[in-house]
Structures are given as C-alpha cells and as structure tokens.
A and B are shown apart, each in its own frame.
Chain A
Amino acid sequence: MRVKSILLSAREGSDWTVPGVGWEGFRFFAPPPSGVRTRPLGGRGREWTVPLREGGGALRDEKKLPPSPNAHALAPPPFPSFPYGLRALAGGSRYCVHVRREGWANMSTCSVSKGCFVFKPKSKKRRIASTADYFNDSKNDSEDSGLRFATCESLWKQIKSETEQIQEELNKQLYDNIIRFLRRSHSEFQEKKTEWTCRMKSSEIPTAALVLGVNVTDHDLTFKRLSEVLQDNVTPYVVSLQAKECPGIRHLLQKLMGQLMDCYVEDDQSEEEDYVTVSKKRIRCSLDSLTDWYECVTKKTDSETPSKKRTSSSRWESPPIVVIFKDMESFTTKVLQDFIVISSQHIHELPLVLIFGIATSPMIIHRLLPHSVSSLLCIELFQCLSCKEHLATVIDKLLLTSKFPFKLSEKVLQVLINIFLYHDFSVQNFIKGFQLSVVEHFYSQPLSVLCCQLPKAKKRVNSFSHEQCERIRSLPSFRRYVESQVSEKQIALLTEDNFVKEVTQILLEDLHIYHENYFPVLKCLHIFTSSLPKYPLGKQIRELHCACLEKRVWETEEYESALQLVRMLCKADLVAMLQKCVKIFMSFPGKEFGNTVEKLKEFLAQFQNLEAEASKVQDEPMSSQKELQKKTDLYHLQKTLLQLKDSRSKKLTKFEMLRFEVVDFIDSLVRNYLAPAEMQTLHEVVYFSAASTLCEHLNAAPRTALHTALNKPYFYLKNQALKSDAGCFSNKAPDICIAYKLHLECGRLINLVDWLEAFSTVVTAVKGTDADSVASDEVDEIIHARFIRAVSELQLLGFIKPSKRKTDHVARLTWGGC
C-alpha cells in the first residue's frame, strides 16, 4: 500500500479564525480504521496521522494515480467522511488548506485545533498540478484547450491590473492624508523645545486612528500598500504588528525591534551587516536599546553623504518610526497601555508615530485605554472608503463596461453580491469569486475561446473545425436563431460549416454592439431611477443591472411605477438629469448615440424656451385670480372654481407635454437597448451562468455535507449496493452511517446499550437465517467492536460526547430529537 499523506490544518488567521467552525466543520476524520497505521501526535490526544489510500480522495493529483486494488482489500469499508471532507476543505476558497510535505520525523504542527493531521512522507516527489494541466486534462478536451487557457490567463491579467488600479485610486486620498499628518506631527517633533508653548505642552505621541470597516480580509492589502507608500515617501522605519503576535509587551517589543533592525539592513545593505549581527546578539528588548539603535542609525546617516539611494526620506534628518497596529481590537489592554506608557517616556529621543487599524468604531480607543493613557496620545481620525462604495466602483469598472468580453449572468452576479452583502463585506472575496467564474467559464464552456476582443474572435471563428461548428449549432440561443430564419437559410445553417462561420461572425458583432449600447443606456436609466422615492428599481446601479438582465425590464411593474414617478418630476430635476445623460452618452465613443444626443439636447433647448415663455404664461392665472377676488357671491365663486379646475385637467401645460415626450423617449431607448442578454444569440459564449457551481464552491456547507455523507453514503461513495431509499437502513452501509442514522432517532441522552442493540439488529438483519441461529441476546464480539469504533468516530466528528450525568449514556451535541 502506497502511503500518501497531507497535512491539513485549519488556519487561524484574524480573518478566519476557527473556533466556531472547528467544532462544526473541521472534525472530519474518524480515528482511523484498523489496518491503517496511526500515531498520535506530540501529546495532543486528538491528533492522528492518517495515511491516505490511493484512489479514495477527491484531491486532484490523487486521481491520476492508478488505483491499487489491494489497498481496498486491506482496508475495511471506507469511512465516508474522508474524501468529501477533503473536498469540502479544498473547495471553498476561504478554507485554507495547508498542504505541507514533511517526513514522519518532523511532525510538529503549529495548529491549536484538535483536528487530525495527515502527513506526507518527504521522499515522494509530487507534481503540483497547474491550472493549465487542468484545461488539458478535461474530458471535453478539444484542440483549443490550450488556446482557451491562454485567453483566460490574458483576460484575467487585464482584469487584475484593473482592480489593482481601482484600489490604488480609491485609497490614494487616504494615504495622502496620512502622509500629511506624519509630516506635520514630525515637524513639530523637530522644531520643539524653544518655544514656550512647546515646552509647556506635554509631549504626546502622534497617533492616527484608521477606521477601515469590518471587512477584515481586505485590510491586509490596505496595510501592505500603506507601509509601502510610507516607506517610499516618509520613512524607512515602518513596523506592522498583529495582535496574535504580541500576547505580551515583551513579544511586542521583540517583534518591533526585529522588524526595525531588518528594515535597517534592507535599507543600506552590505557594510552594516556586522553592526546588526552584534546588536542582535545583545538585544535586550527594551526601548532603551531601541533608542540607542536609533541614535546610532541616524548619526550614521547624517555623517554619510546623502548621495546614497535613500530616496525622499533623506530630507528628513530623523525619520519617524511608524508602528502600525493592524488589528487594534484584538490587542489586550495591558499590552497597549504598557507600550504607550513606555514609549511616551522616550518620545523625546525616539520619534514614534502610531497607527491604529480599527475595524469597528474609534470608540474602541476609549474602551481599551483609560484616560491616563489616552492623554499621552494625540489622536487623529482617518476614515477609509466604505466597502460598499468600493464594491460599487469595482462593479462599475469591471462589470458595467464593454471593455472586457467576459460577462456574468444575473444569477451569478446575484450570488456574488449576496455573499458580499450577507456574509463578509469583503471586496477581495468578491474579486476572488469573479476570478473563479472566469476560470470556470473558460474551463466548462468550449466555445469560450470566442470570449475575447472582437477582431480576434472573428479570426478564431474562421479557423473553426467541424466539431466546433457543431458546438455552435447546439447552442440553445443559436438554435432559436435558426428556427427564426427562412427554411433555405435554415438548411444552409445546419449543413454548411462556412456559412455558420460567416453568420457567427455577424452575430458576434451584433453581440458586441449590443453591449456597447447596453451600458450607456443602463447608466442613463439609472440616473432617472436612482433619485425616485422608494427606489422602485433599486438605488444602486447593480440592482438595475440585475433587473435588466433577468427579464424584459419594461414589462415589470416596478418599471411602470418608476416611469409614473419620472412623469411627476419637477423641471429642475429633469433638466439636471437630462444634462447628466448627455454627458454619459458623450463619454461613450460609439457613433450609435449621435442622434440620441441630438434629441436630448433638443429637449434641453425646449426646456430653456419654456423658461422664456414662462413669464407670459404667468399672466393668465394672475388675471383669473384677480377675477376670483372680485367675486364675492358664493355661487359664482363655486362656479368659477369648477371652471378653473376643468380647464386645468383638460389642458396640459407645455411643460407637461414636454415631460411626457422625454419619458416616452427614455422608454423607447430602454426598449431598444436594454433587452436581457439571454435573448441575444450566442450569449452563452461570453456569459457565465453556472450559479450553482459557483455557489457550491464559495458557500461551502460543511455541516450539510457531513450530514449527506452519513445519511446517504451513496452520494459520495457511488457504490451501487448503497443505492437505496433514504428512509430505510441498509446493513451494507458503513458502520458509522448506521450508527449515525440510529442516533438521529434518539433524544438528548443516548443509552449505549439500546444503541448497540439497535445497531446489531440492523447489521445482522438481512443475514436473516444466521441471526436466528446466534443466541439473540449475545451480541457478536466483532459487531461490538465495530459499534465501538463507529461511536468513537461519531465522537470525534463532534456529534456526541460522554455525559457526566449518566455513566452508560452519551450526550448528543447536535439538535433534533428533542
């Protein structure tokens, strides 16, 4: 039996700490069945090493190896949690799977979880399957898989650089503000001691409180970029600290000094090496030694000529030391307080600047620090762009543009947005999801080879083979198109490859034009709907986009009510909106909208004219009012009032007429250009619509998977013998499944004896005749052993635990039953 093993461990990161999950999701592995070598790890009772059998896993590389038959023979019935457990871990992008290759000798893990760790022997060489191999190996492989992969790569590269640029632009102002703050506070540090006020003021530590929002996963990127920016512009001494690295003040200082000394080495390489090694040896982790170090460093750079590559920071004689606390909330009060108190004593020699990364609200500063400590700080607040705005920008730049050929269907977009809004607020995860859809699209859709820029796509169509033409013919949207044609053309489309290619090119062009028109009109419609009361079509453009993708938007009730509301807009609003629309259409280079712009401008001009006429119009009501004042007779008054009312309802003012025209025009635009994408022929080529696949990958449900595995083992094991109705017990199922099903019927406490009896009944049931012969109240030893193993497996999976209340009972940890 060849033994492979892999270390799986749940990562405890700040973004994804395990406690809640560990209990539910990560206890996948049962104590291994007999016949598999196990050994407990370093004193932790619950860790096992489980050698993996060949062919049993859902891991990628596992598949390629030929299954060794005797492995199956050796091992008892496979325990079902294994394969899917790995899959559940590997599938969800947020589950971190550390695949570490280590020898048996070196088997320490840094995990605190009581999970099971599988180690892989070192000697085996293992090729890591790249994504490219995947494309080549896929079952629907055709000659163009390589090309598809290349297209996918290049497209993703473009998208990635775009997202990075967005990020950069969005955070630019924040970084600028922080740099300005650093400059200012630092200049105060340098010029002090002379003036009276400076002498009298207690010297506070300049502190920037950076409020970043609860999307902790995105912070890393922001901080990384921030420290880069600071290092480029302000000071080489930037230290980032994380709470989990600093449980005590000593660790904090250690970390701080370690990072500082390192960054010093990086800064001017070779000649200072000896100094650093010396100092490292005798580092006492106190600010005294840090002060000495700082003095030493600054003196050195002063004496040297500033011709060194030290960039802009050379302007600053004594560059400040910036300490970033990445996750302020998680730091313990004591560590923070001590650090601040200590460093405030050295502030005269050591220009420290603190940056607090805050995820919740700045109130946390007051909660963590008492007044005596916070009075040592000079805190200024900086606010990061909210993640929702960030997402809106990302969607605008990535999805609502015809720049990238790849598009998301309504359902997929909804899945991604829902994950964002309901679960994590993380833009990074949204982009990851987007990336996954790109890869999945190119992987699963053979015609995605056409998902590139138009000229290139046309060229590719020309070189299509017969199979590929067949694929086009089999597209539902293309079939619909064929059916709508006249019969001769239908025949030609179905038989002649060349004709198909020609038509495809035309259709691709149509699709391209559709997109070019779609987005400006969408934005234009959004301008009208985004300011309506109650937002019938949504406040955000993404909601409108989804509505348009879903079905013909003009047939929906919401659209009707939105138009009703637009018909009631006042002139000033309407004019402003029209002007915005003109701007949007002008900004799109397509020639299509020349007429539209003309028309809109005409409307604007007419509104202008109305204003000019307004003075004349005003006279009439004035005169009628004068009439009103004259009449004192009640009867006449009533009469005239009625007349006035009639005339008003009958005659629309010029403005109202014009308003109707405008609305009709907008409506016609919508009907012309905002048809749902699914109605377009060949939309399958560029739209990714497999929402369920995406959901499966991004929304991993470990608990459900576990239940499915234990309840319906066939789902994962694919063994025909197990194929049965869910309700009844099959004795062919793995023991743990039988035990699990039986335990589902019990209450909070389970009597082990009863459970065992039920278990043995099920196991021996079909054997029938045999069961009768065996003395009925004596349970077979083997069955007993199997039962015990199944129960302990369930215990490890976290379904039951020993109870202190009754000795022969176990307690259920999941509900049901009660």
Chain B
Amino acid sequence: MPTLEHPEYPEATLLHLESIMPCRESQMSTLLSIFGERQQYSFPSIFIYGHTSSGKTYVLQTLLKTLKLPHVFVNCVECSTSRLLLEKILSQLQSLSSKTKHASHTSCDTLNQFVYLFKQETMAEELQNETIYIVLDKAEQLREMEANVLPAFLRLQELADRNVTVILVTEIVWELFRPSTGCFEPLTLYFPDYSIGHLQKILSHDHPPEYSADFYAAYINILLGVFYTVCRDLKELRHLAALNFSKYCEPVVKGEANERDTRRLWKNIESHLKKAMQTVYLRELSSSQWERLQQDEGEPGQVKGLSAHTHVELPYYSKFLLIAAYLASYNPSRTDKRFFLKHHGKMKKTFLNKHEKTSNHLLGPKPFPLDRLLAILYSIVDKRVVPTGNIFSQISSLVTLQLLTLVGHDDQLDGPRYKCTVSLDFIRAIARTVNFDIIKYLYDFL
C-alpha cells in the first residue's frame, strides 16, 4: 500500500487523511498529484465516476476541507435551471473571497455573464494565487441544461483565464456525457466499488464507544454475510448495522453470553437479520417501526408491510370499466368479435395458431379508443348501462388514480385513447369480486 506523499502538505495531515478515508489511498494520491501545489495550475477539468457510495463525494469533500483548498461545492440536483446553478456557484465564491461582507445577491442568466462575474469575484487577493476548485456533484443533471453549459465548464480555466479546476462527480461514464459536437476531454478518474474486505474494514472502523472493535467487527462480519449478496451500498449497510446492533448486543447485556461467544451471538441475530432484509431493507417497514418492534419483542408479522395492502376497493362500474380497459389493452381488436358477439361462428384455425407470436402480456398494454372501451363495457355488464355523466367521470377518475393513462394529448377531444396500467394479478382480484372470469376473455390465455 503506498502511503500518501506530497511535498506541499505536512505528513501528519496526510496520515490523518489516510485514517479517515480507508481503502481510498490510491485515488487520493492520484488526486493530490493532479492538484499539485496550491499555486500551480491544475488540469482544467476532472471527471470522477463510480458506483453509488464508492466514496467519491466524501473523498473530495474531506480532501478539500482538510487541506483548506478554496473550493465551491454544488449539488446539481438542487439546480433545476442553469441559472440557479450559476448563481449558486457565484454566491459560494463570494463567501469564499470575503467572509466579512454579507453576500449580496447577484443575478446571472447566461454563461457569458457567469464568466465575467467569475473573473471579477476571483480578483480578490487570497484567491489569486491558489487554484479554485468547483465541484459539481450529480453532474449528470448538467446534460439536461442548455447545450453550452457542460462544454463551458469543462474549459472554464481557459475561458475565464483563471487558475480554476472544475471537478464533475457522477455515477455514469463519460461516454454518456460527451456532446455530439465534441468538447474538451476531461481527465477521467474511476472510483471502483468497495470489495467485501473494504466494506468490512470501513464498517468496523466506527464502532460504538461502549464495545470493543473486535466485537463490532464480528458483528459486521455476520451482517455482511447476510446482506452482501443484495446490497453493497455502504450507506445502507451502515444504517442496517446501526438498526440491528442493539439486538446483537442483547445476550451480552442480559448476561447470557460474553462478547467472545460468537456462535451464540450469531444464532441470536441471523434470523433477525434475514427478517430485516425482507422488511426494513425494502422499506416495507420503516426503520422506526423496526426499532419499536425490537424493543417490544413483537413479531414483525404484526405490523404489515406496505405491499401487504394491495387491495383496492372500487365502485361497481369502475371495476367493470377497469376490466373492460384491461381487455381492450391486451386483446387485439380483431378478436373482439369472437369474445363479445353471441354468434361469433367457428373459431378459425389461424385464429388459434398464434403460438409463434409473442404474448401480448409480454409486449405490454396497447392504447385503445374510448369507443372500444365503452362497447366492451356494455357487453360485459349484465345489466343495461346508461351512459350517464357518472360513467364518464369514472373514466377520468381512473385516470387520476393512475389505473388508466391517457395516451397522447391532454386536450384531445376527438378520440381520446387510453392504456390500462394495472397488472394481471390486480385485475384478476378485481374480476373475482364481481364474479367475472377474466381469463376466459383474454386472448393470451386461449
């Protein structure tokens, strides 16, 4: 393992950095060598990518803060327009350059203006002979802004003629960014995923003060054994570790086992963790509910998860409307005659010879016009349905409930087309409540 070396910074600082950011030494040293010394010009733009929670933001933030480099840190999710982004950068710059003066608000609409204002802001003494770092987190948002934003940031050093480095942080690769017209290629830097060993090391790093590090490391080992297959997100694992730790300690607290009795502790916790994987991890139960369950020693079965409540109660005609919509979405319209006409005649061979074709359920719902929906409705309801306003209002209610979706224009009056978005299981449950055998009417199941 290469330890960090840099002529600019004292060794103690570097050691400290290494200790708070384990398993990211090589990335750090690369970054440090790119940054160079404080007054040196660095590479104009750096592109950092890697999977969720691989320490990109954390490493950058800690590095810039600990080494007291002048920097601006912006999360692009918060900036829905380029204007917000630019103003945010400027206002942070202002607070950098003049800590005493209350930042007055500057409005900045275009990049041209931004470059000009940026030049002005960086005139200040303390900023002039140091590299300024602009970190744009979640940089994929930049692609949705005006076409000139991303290329301009990439060569801001050149445009503003200042010692500045723009760092883009994102989870996707550079290829997905590159505009078709071409642009300045940034220096790309990849943060690989943490391996299981890394996770173990990092997670055991901050153990609770009342327990020894070994004890906690054993716990993390068990935790990773259960969760590593489904979740490698460090943040999530930390969260789960914190949630379930009290349960793990329980035998120790009660005095039934000592800290070294790993087998016993494992027995106690393993089923519990598996249960957690099915509930808390999927957010079926909230973490606070989970904690309360632990305290009350209750069975997790008592509190039902979110998915347990799938039943939706609908008015009578809404049910039939939904069924009709489902049929219209998944049956080809040429088969309507066969399903809904009394004397449809003999089924043709070609009609049934469809095995080589793809199932409609695999292709997804198809749009259908309102007429067809109503025609099917009239034929599947036993009673006579009067087309009152109430029926039509139910269609729009179903659209607001997102059980149907309107395809195409919103204000289309001539022939609105809909799609049915519910699943087969859902519609079968609905059909069962009105004694309608929907499978008999579905082309795919003939």
Closest to A287 in B: B78
A374 to B287, CA, bound (A): 12
Q: Mark B51-75, 1 if CB is under 8 A from A, else 0.
A: 0100000000000000000000001
Q: Which of A184, A377, A423 contacts B390 (CB 8 A)?
A: A423
A248 to B84, CA, bound (A): 15
Interface centre among B370, B375, B389 (most CB of A within 10 A): B389
Q: Mark A19-31, 1 if CB is under 8 A from B, else 0.
A: 1111111010000
Residues of B near A94 (CB, < 8 A) are: 389-390, 393
Q: Which of B52, B239, B288, B413 contacts A798 (CB 8 A)?
A: B413
Question: Do residues B400 and A329 form an inter-chain contact, with CB atoms below 8 A?
Answer: yes
* Any A CB within 8 A of the CB of B25: no
Question: Do residues B389 and A211 form an inter-chain contact, with CB atoms below 8 A?
Answer: no
Do A284 and B84 contact each other (CB < 8 Å), given the known contacts A16-B396, A342-B78? yes
Question: Do residues A21 and B396 form an inter-chain contact, with CB atoms below 8 A?
Answer: yes
Question: Do residues B313 and A214 form an inter-chain contact, with CB atoms below 8 A?
Answer: yes
Question: Do residues A92 and B387 form an inter-chain contact, with CB atoms below 8 A?
Answer: no
A-B interface contact total, Cβ < 8 Å: 222
B2 to chain A, nearest CB (A): 30
* Any B CB within 8 A of the CB of A213: yes
* Any B CB within 8 A of the CB of A626: no
Residues of A near B243 (CB, < 8 A) are: 197, 201
Question: Do residues B235 and A380 form an inter-chain contact, with CB atoms below 8 A?
Answer: no
> Which 9 pairs across A and B sit closest by C-beta, in order of nearness?
A200-B242, A20-B395, A17-B396, A21-B392, A362-B306, A423-B390, A196-B208, A112-B411, A378-B286
Q: Which of B238, B310, B415 contacts A363 (CB 8 A)?
A: B310
Q: Which of A20, A327, A801 contacts B370 (CB 8 A)?
A: A20
Number of residues of chain A lying within 8 A (CB) of chain B: 90
Residues of B near A798 (CB, < 8 A) are: 413-414
Interface centre among A14, A16, A423, A701 (most CB of B within 10 A): A423
> What are 6 A-B pairs with beta-carbon distances under 8 A?
A20-B370, A216-B401, A342-B75, A362-B309, A700-B388, A701-B388
Question: Do residues A185 and B288 form an inter-chain contact, with CB atoms below 8 A?
Answer: yes
Residues of B near A151 (CB, < 8 A) are: none
A18 to B316, CA, bound (A): 21
Question: Do residues A361 and B390 form an inter-chain contact, with CB atoms below 8 A?
Answer: no
Closest to A243 in B: B400
Interface size class of B (residues with CB under 8 A): 35 or more
Within 8 A of B (CB), among A358-416: 359-366, 371-372, 374-375, 377-381, 383, 386-388
* Any A CB within 8 A of the CB of B312: yes
* Any A CB within 8 A of the CB of B35: no
A748 to chain B, nearest CB (A): 11
Q: Mark B311-324, 1 if CB is under 8 A from A, else 0.
A: 11111111000000
Question: Do residues B209 and A196 form an inter-chain contact, with CB atoms below 8 A?
Answer: yes
Closest to B421 in A: A367
Extra contacts, 19 of them, besides A22-B416, A360-B401, A700-B390 (Cβ < 8 A), are A21-B389, A21-B393, A21-B396, A113-B411, A197-B245, A200-B238, A201-B243, A250-B81, A329-B402, A345-B78, A361-B312, A372-B52, A386-B313, A387-B313, A423-B391, A701-B389, A702-B389, A704-B388, A813-B414
Question: Do residues B397 and A214 form an inter-chain contact, with CB atoms below 8 A?
Answer: yes
Do A342 and B239 contact each other (CB < 8 Å), given the known contacts A282-B105, A377-B283? no
A11 to B412, CA, bound (A): 15
Do A25 and B392 contact each other (CB < 8 Å), given the known contacts A250-B80, A378-B288? yes
B374 to chain A, nearest CB (A): 9
Question: Do residues B392 and A24 form an inter-chain contact, with CB atoms below 8 A?
Answer: yes
Q: Which of A14, A204, A814 contacts B400 (CB 8 A)?
A: A14
A19 to B414, CA, bound (A): 10
B424 to chain A, nearest CB (A): 15
Residues of A near B306 (CB, < 8 A) are: 209, 362-363, 365-366, 379, 381
* Any A CB within 8 A of the CB of B87: yes
Instruction: List chain B positions with a Cβ less than 8 A from chain A.
Output: 52, 75, 77-81, 84, 87-88, 105, 206, 208-209, 235-236, 238-239, 241-243, 245-246, 282-283, 286-289, 304, 306-307, 309-318, 370-371, 375, 386-397, 399-403, 406, 410-416
A377 to B134, CA, bound (A): 30
Question: Do residues B387 and A701 form an inter-chain contact, with CB atoms below 8 A?
Answer: yes
* Any B CB within 8 A of the CB of A114: yes
* Any B CB within 8 A of the CB of A1: no
Question: Do residues B414 and A422 form an inter-chain contact, with CB atoms below 8 A?
Answer: no
A21 to B402, CA, bound (A): 17
* Any B CB within 8 A of the CB of A627: no
Closest to B394 in A: A423
Residues of A near B238 (CB, < 8 A) are: 200-202
Do A361 and B78 contact each other (CB < 8 Å), given the known contacts A16-B393, A20-B395, A801-B414? no
A85 to chain B, nearest CB (A): 13
* Any B CB within 8 A of the CB of A330: yes
Residues of B near A213 (CB, < 8 A) are: 313
Residues of B near A372 (CB, < 8 A) are: 52
Closest to B369 in A: A813
Question: Do residues B78 and A202 form an inter-chain contact, with CB atoms below 8 A?
Answer: no
Closest to B87 in A: A284
A517 to B314, CA, bound (A): 36
Question: Do residues A27 and B413 form an inter-chain contact, with CB atoms below 8 A?
Answer: yes
A361 to B415, CA, bound (A): 30
Q: Which of B84, B235, B315 contacts A214 (CB 8 A)?
A: B315
